[in-house]
Amino acid sequence: MDAQLVYIGLAAIFGLFMAWGIGANDVANAMATSVGSKALTIKQAILVAAIFEFAGAVLAGGEVTSTIRKGIVDADMLSATPELLVYGMLASLLAAGTWLLVASRSGWPVSTTHSIVGAIVGFAAVGIGIEAVKWGKVGTIVMSWVVSPLTAGIIAYLIYRSVQKLILVHENPLERARRYVPVYIFLAAFTMTLVTILKGLKHVGLEISVQQAYLLAVAIAVGIALIGSFFIRKIQPDPKAEKDQHYITVERVFAVLMVVTACGMAFAHGSNDVANAIGPLAAVIGIATTGTIAAKSSLPIWVLMLGGGGIVIGLATFGRHVIATVGKKITQLTPSRGFAAELAAATTIVIASGTGIPISTTHTLVGAVLGVGMARGIEAIDLRIVTRIFVSWVVTIPAGAILAIIFFFAFRAFLP
């Protein structure tokens, strides 16, 4: 009984630490374009994230979650010694959380998924044996390093080029913005709704067919586009401000759009990435209470709330470092550029959900911001910052693995 309480207590603390790391790093990515483009202040971004990330994590974060993320470890090899999986999951949570703390402090946008995957691979390869790791799965995850930023970058480039062609190069950009931005609002709302339905609501047990998902997304998007159009008509030009900055009113139109995309991204992110913190936690609770390893673990609501709360606290206390890197340092963002990046990232997530490619929200968003920068020419991008980000991506899996191995042996030696 004492050992059971120790395991669950440690898992809850490390799960909260990992969720905090997701908030400090990953959510900061999701909010960075809104803050960097000045569509939202940092306080407003934290408020939006607090509401929508928490709602996504608790409402759609999964009553049931896979105990071993991404199916990268052969659990059958541990059926005789379930306590090894407990040590491994505790080590993985602590290792991934520690790496996210280091990365967030340095302002590096790294992938929380890759942090936990690296940690689990590390403990499994050393603690159980090389053959326990499903290396094919690990290979697909490594492949996503290239696929997700590249896809998002290309889509963002095309979206921003269309904004330039349809709106920004014309004599009367405000008139053109009033005509075309509702179309962009429709696209953004459609994509965000689809992300939410495909990634979020599958956890709640709502059985929605793909056809119904698309019809529902179209209906909601039409409604949001009509509301957006109403507010855009109310935006009047400010001749004095226009003298200083020609596109200021047009950017105000796009700022309306950024708020919609920020809310959608936060909900989808909360519903999806909270599993990185609560999956291993669910595994430990399952083993500690039943003594056996199950493929799925049912989750008490307090676990989802712990994950959602940790994410919000992480963003509020430490998120500013990564927000500064992605929102301001890679390339200069305005609401129209930030919108192109966010819509591209969401579109890539929808494509990935539909095809089953494992992707990282972080890599996707950074790729999208790069794509927007490229649309203005290579000189618009700070290549030193980009190099630093790429290096931090490559280091993430080995860093998670090494830390997990150290913690695994420590737990095996000292825990009951």
Give the pLDDT of residue 203. 52
Tell me how far apart the alpha carbons of residues 250 and 232 are, in angstroms, rounded to a whole number: 10
Mean pLDDT across 25-39: 83
- For residue 298, the model assigns a pLDDT of 63
| Six token digits for residue 93 | 């949570």
Whether residue 222 is predicted with pLDDT greater than 90 in this model: the reply is yes
Cα 173 from Cα 180, distance rounded (Å) = 10
Nearest-angstrom CA–CA distance, 369 and 17: 28
Helices (H) and strands (E) counted in the chain, each on its own, are: 16, 2
Is residue 66 pLDDT above 60, yes or no?
no
pLDDT band at 180 (very low <50, low <70, confident <90, very high): confident
Domain that holds residue 10: 2-414
Q: What is the mean pLDDT of residues 40-69?
A: 72
Q: Which amino acid is at 63?
A: E
In this predicted structure, what is the pLDDT of residue 204? 55
More confident residue, 197 or 69: 197
Distance set, CA 266 to CA 42, 263, 394 (Å): 14, 5, 26
Give CA–CA dist 385/379, Å, rounded: 13
Q: What is the pLDDT of residues 398-414, one digit of tens each?
A: 999 999 999 999 998 88
Query: Cα angle at 341 between 338 and 345, to 5 degrees?
Result: 140
Using an 8 Å Cβ cutoff, are 160 and 375 in contact? yes
Q: How many domains does the chain have?
A: 1
Put residue 135 in one of left, alpha, beta given phi > 0 → left and psi -120 to 50 → alpha.
alpha
Checking if the pLDDT of 143 tops 70, the result is: yes
Does an H or E element contain 298, and which? strand 296-298
CA distance 396 to 114: 7
Q: 136, exposed or middle or buried, with CB in 10 Å at 0-12, 13-18, 19+?
A: exposed
Q: How many residues comprise the chain?
A: 416
Q: What pLDDT does 62 receive?
A: 58
Number of other CB atoms surrounding residue 64 within 10 Å? 12
Question: Does the pLDDT value for residue 63 go beyond 60?
Answer: no
> For residues 304 and 10, is the Cβ–Cβ distance under 8 A?
no
* Residue-level pLDDT at 64: 40
Q: Given this model, what pLDDT does residue 67 score?
A: 42
Asked if pLDDT for residue 245 goes beyond 50, the answer is: yes
Q: Residue 339 in contact with residue 257, Cβ under 8 Å?
A: yes
Pure H helices in 238-357: 239-244, 248-273, 275-290, 301-318, 320-324, 335-355
| Cα–Cα distance list, 161 to 158, 274, 298, 377 (Å) | 5, 34, 46, 12
Higher pLDDT, 115 or 205: 115
pLDDT at position 318 over 80: yes
Residue 331's nearest CA partner among 363, 369, 368 is 369
- Six-digit token string for 25: 């790093």
Sequence-distant (6+) residues with CB within 8 A of 77 are 128, 129, 131, 132
**pLDDT winner (highest mean) among 66-70, 136-140, 385-389:** 385-389
Task: Return the amino acid letter for 121.
Answer: V
Helix or strand (DSSP H, E) at 218: helix 210-234
Looking at residue 201, its pLDDT comes to 59
> pLDDT at residue 71 above 80?
no
Whether residue 205 is predicted with pLDDT greater than 80 in this model: the reply is: no
Stretch 308-322: mean pLDDT: 87
- The pTM for the full model equals 0.82
pLDDT band at residue 364, thresholds of 50, 70 and 90? confident
pLDDT-derived band at 242, boundaries 50, 70, 90: low
Span 151-172, pLDDT tens digits: 999 999 999 899 888 888 777 7
Q: Is 205 left (phi over 0), alpha (psi -120 to 50) or beta?
A: left
pLDDT of residue 399: 93
Query: Percent of the chain, pLDDT > 90?
Result: 12
